[in-house]
A and B are shown apart, each in its own frame.
Chain A
Amino acid sequence: MKMKKMMLFLGLFAAMIDLSNAQPVQGTTPRKIISGENQFFMRPQWSPDGTKIAFTAEKNQGIWISNAKGNKLTQITDDNEAGFGFSWSADSKSILARPVVQVDDQRFHQVKAYDIESGEDRIIVENTRKLQSLPVWSNHDASIAFLMNNAVETRNSGKTQVKSASKDTPKAMALGNALKTTAGSETIEFDQFKDRYIFNVKTSPNGQKMVFQVNGLGLFACNADGTELKSLGHSEQASWMPDNRYIVTTKVADNGVAITAAELMLIDTESGSEFPLLSDADYIALNPSVSPDGAKLVFENVKDGAIYLMPLK
């Protein structure tokens, strides 16, 4: 009898291990949803309410909006470089970006918020060469934060605070080998990354974790306070799943001239386990963005300059 119980226990234990290592979602066949003649679209991002997709075009110039099916395209701005590092407001009504204006041979950054319904933009920071980070939304959309003079600075966004029961999710901004967050003045410094740069920082939906890249060293995950730092290998451009545990990334190969392959991966930030989502020579998949409900993702395909949607199952 004891032996039977032992066998049963071992079987259940094995099943649990197996389940914990199982791939939670699978990729499916991608479908092209946004393309244009002589256009190269990239960097798609779901809106927080899952009803829209924002994306940019070649040279990161301008920002477009489509509905969740990739229809009803609207260009909300043609500003130079606005398409790099833009972010949705929590109410899915505005987009924050860092466009560039060229004056003579000098580049000046701006911080702008674009109202996607009215098409109007609001300049938060005028021409400056002092900006040290991409801007982020803060304080339930009421504020905009960025790094200047090695410190977090905030400005009024002009939007009313989003009424939400949930706590405001602090956003992190990279400054060299350190992170500064909108939550407080404390700097999270990673000595092991001395002389390197943290970039592409993504905070989990519940604000408790972060993933980011470090030049030369790859992808890392840690708690929001910088503890429990963990290497996740050489993946990039992470997008969180709504479970706050898994991320979708792309694994890029290149020949020094051009990117030759990019495969979408699902990574467990707790165990570091990797699961392939899309590995197909027809796609060089960059900048994946998971929908807020985790049911699908969009990505850019370098092969044809189109945006693809891939349901997850």
Chain B
Amino acid sequence: MNVRFLPTIFFIGLLFFVNNSFAQVSGLADYKIFLDPGHAQKENMGLYNYSEAEKVLRVAHELKDLFESQTDIEAVHLSRLTDADQISLSERTDLANSLGVDFYYSIHSDAGGSTANSTLTMYGGWRKNGSTVEKSPVGGKAFGDLLNVDLSGAMRIANRGNYADRVYYQGEIYHHDNQWPYLHVNRTTNMASLLSEGGFHTNPTQQQRNMNAKWKKLEAMSAFRSFLKYKGIEPPAIGVVTGIITDEDNGLPVNGVVVTIGEKHDTTDTYQSLFKNYSTKDGQLRNGFYWIDNLTPGAEVEVIFSSEDYLPKTVSLTLATDSAGWTKDNLSFLDVSLTSNKPPLVESVTAENGLGRVIPGMDPISITFNRTMNKESVEQAISVSPEVPISFNWKDDATIMINTDSLAFNANYTFTIADSTAKNDVTGQFLDGDNDGVEGGAYQFDITTSTEDITAPQLLTYWPNDTTASAEIRPVIRMVYDEEIADESVASNIVSVQRISDGRYAYGKVGHVVVNGQSVLHFFTTQDLVNRETYRVSIKAGLKDVNGNATEAFSFTFTVKEEEITAKTIIDDFNAGVTGWWQPQASGSTSGIITEVTSSGADTEETVLSVGSTGSMKLNYGWDVEASGQYIREYLPSTADQNNNRFGIDDVLQMFVMGDGSGNQFRFMIKDGDSKYEASQWYTLDWKGWKLVSWNLSDDPVYAWVNGDGVLNGDNFLVDGIHLRYADGAVAQGTLWFDDLRFVTRSAYTPPTDVELVADDEMISMFPNPARSKVRIETKENIRSVSFYNLSGQLTKQLQPDSREVEIKLNEIEPGLYLVKIETTKGISTKKLNVVK
């Protein structure tokens, strides 16, 4: 392929065009096909408020046109005609069966995470005694074998394969219980059938292409040619040039480029021509897709690309043609990148806490250009007044980060990008600093640095506390600070929890997580506390912020007041990962998100140690705040294994939620015994750190969703998922974690009748004493814990041996007298130990 830059349009001598009268393809004279665009109206909403149903309807119309205009086929029937039509699965198959057609082709697109994109085809089939069986009459598999390869080639995306539908959904086992197809359209159609998934409407790149009218021609073309080959008919020769036009600087698809071949034109979609229907932001959506057909197969052509904002480009090529080959072998793919003719601009200048409060040494200043820049020229161009030495890092080819280490606190600075110095990396055009449309002009911006941080981290909130008792016997105690704490200052024994009545310490582990710039300390109790008892939480001094400011010691108390749990059933502990749950984008109910930053998945970093958790579900979300109706449905299908755990009206549904303090809202969604969708109240995410959220199904409010009625009926409830929505003024992007989804049965508190046991002191030996480097403890019972307290009462060392003897190293313990509290299964014994060095 010869690529040349031409300033003017010339040379059309080698162009030949065919007219629109196609040679008829024969061989289908008495053949009837039923095309079924899946779903209806705006069902299965994809990204940008463009649904699967809308897309596949147009693919079906294009395919019908191809059959009717290019073949002698007797009839092409469509299950639905317009976006307003409503038709059930049974109506589709009843109609096809009534018409007595020869083939049923169901057209779909797929849903999943934002990066998934591939084709998939499924024919009616199952496994029988180790072999895969296709339904009778056969034909779906043969068509699928061709289509799944052809469609992925034409769409230039991955291919997941052609499957017997029951194998795809229920696995390639030796023998399926149900010896019939899985999908309704395969199962109840009398004729050969196939269902195809043409890419993902949840993939941003794919979905922006899906919106293009001629993209549907491409998918229809692939299905058309594959079907002809399936019927043993050689597809007609075609002449098509198609491709994606991108910006050479940033690689993004370009809107509004006119593509010309002789007298034929196509223009890539623009905000005005298309995207305004799906976005309020000009420039947000782009696909760069063009398609020019009805050219002479094999001809030499010149393809001219022109746009007001880009340098023109002309490419010569010979049109591909291989009638017997795949569709991709008959499409002349021509992807081009165009070079902007506009000088670069500063797109944005930002700092973590704003330009009015830059923290020296902490917050770099970020300058983003709208085009890739020559790095050396940009660094040369940037100066600061008053003058201080500055250094740089590049985030990418268009974003420079100015380090602020040398800036003074509480000062004002002016940064300047000098006139005609910083230039574009591709064309060498200078920065248009004054934004007048031509090169040149300096760019300036001011910043103010913050006052110096000399304040230690402040404890903002803690839970449980004097006024809010712990309703859980094994609480996750959380303490939220006003700033980030240096992780190295969070020692494993920085927090201790002591029962006030007897001084006994609670077992637990300390965790630290930074949520939206604020540190949360967790104390995960790892053994049940005693109900109705009061505990003191002590936080040692020495927690430091990133500037080294250290906290004083602090303590608070709380009481445990739990309604006892008499039964607990885990629905999903996420310890084995996240399985069964859909990606947020896969649900048609999800809308108004920034898909690139929205995802769900497994996490092992943030877990609720109180329940011994080793895994959680992490949900990243990003709201498009200018869209209407921001909503995420994190869906758990009723067929998921987790939903073998059914619950009822007497239960309490619970889940630990790591709040981000964003002000967004989430709720539980369940299906009751009548298969109606019923929801909990919306819980506002106004906390940071782990919190157990409970929905008492008998006492708390119930809200209807979709077919629900706001009443929990029947039994055998199941979890449908977790819903999240944006609240006005809330944070637009964040991460939540979920752990230990379960239901419990509670009963009123019953005071204990037994008394605390005291260990038989004679049965416990501790030696040597005095001890220098180690001490050994032996008992006849299992040792649950050993705690060392100095004479000030501070816990200095604690361990849980879970054995009858233990040897404890004393090298980190200062010399002196200690009280050693030894708890065995028989009770507690306290002994004195003299540590010498």
Interface residues of A (CB under 8 A from B): 38, 40, 58-60, 80-81, 84-85, 98, 100, 102, 105-107, 109, 129-134, 174, 195-197, 199-200, 213, 215-218, 234, 236-237, 250, 252-254, 256-262, 279-281, 286
Contact = CB atoms under 8 A, between A and B. Distances in A.
Given A237-B90, A259-B184, A281-B675, A174 B137 contact: no
A256 B38 contact: yes
Given A174-B98, A199-B95, A200-B98, A105 B139 contact: yes
Interface stretch (B76-84, B391-399, B724-732): B76-84
Nearest to B102: A107
A253 B180 contact: no
Given A196-B81, A281-B675, A256 B190 contact: no
B340 to A, nearest CB: 43
A237 B88 CA distance: 12
A215 B89 contact: no
A174 to B, nearest CB: 7
Contact of B89 (A102, A132, A258): A258
B87 A216 contact: yes
Instruction: With a 10 A CB-CB cut-off, give which of A109, A213, A250 has the most chain B CB atoms.
Output: A213
Contacts of A279: 674
Contacts of B30: 129-130
A236 B137 CA distance: 27
Contact of A281 (B79, B97, B187, B673): B673
Q: What 3 pairs across the A-B complex have the smallest Cβ distances?
A: A216-B85, A252-B88, A281-B675
A85 B98 contact: yes
Contacts of A133: 98
22 contacts: A59-B136, A85-B98, A98-B100, A100-B100, A107-B100, A107-B191, A131-B100, A215-B80, A215-B87, A215-B92, A236-B90, A237-B94, A252-B88, A252-B89, A252-B91, A253-B707, A254-B89, A254-B90, A256-B44, A256-B108, A257-B184, A261-B675
Contacts of B188: 60
Interface residues of B, number: 47
Contacts of B180: 40, 58-59
Contacts of A281: 673-675, 714
Instruction: With a 10 A CB-CB cut-off, give which of B40, B85, B87, B191 has the most chain A CB atoms.
Output: B87
A252 B139 contact: no
Contacts of B88: 234, 236, 252-254, 259
A216 B53 CA distance: 13
B80 A216 contact: yes
Nearest to A236: B91
B94 to A, nearest CB: 6
A281 B718 CA distance: 13
A247 to B, nearest CB: 16
B579 interface: no
Interface string B179-207: 11011100110110000000000000000
Contacts of B102: 106-107
Interface in B276-326: none
A134 B98 contact: yes
Given A84-B190, A174-B98, A213-B94, 4 more contacts: A217-B85, A236-B88, A253-B707, A256-B43
Nearest to B638: A260
B742 interface: no
Contact of B86 (A102, A234, A256, A262): A234
A196 B675 CA distance: 33
A166 to B, nearest CB: 28
B99 interface: yes
B135 interface: yes
B460 to A, nearest CB: 45
B39 interface: yes
Interface in B12-62: 30, 38-40, 43-44
A236 B94 contact: yes
A237 B188 CA distance: 15
A237 B30 CA distance: 29
Contacts of A197: 77, 95, 98-99
Nearest to A281: B675
Contacts of A80: 136, 190
Interface in B702-741: 707, 714
Contacts of B179: 38
Contacts of A130: 30
A77 B242 CA distance: 54
Nearest to B52: A256
A262 B188 CA distance: 16
Contacts of A129: 30
A200 B95 CA distance: 8
A142 B31 CA distance: 32
B827 to A, nearest CB: 54
A102 B137 contact: yes
Contacts of A257: 182-184
Contacts of A109: 100
B168 to A, nearest CB: 11
Contacts of B87: 215-216
Contacts of B40: 216
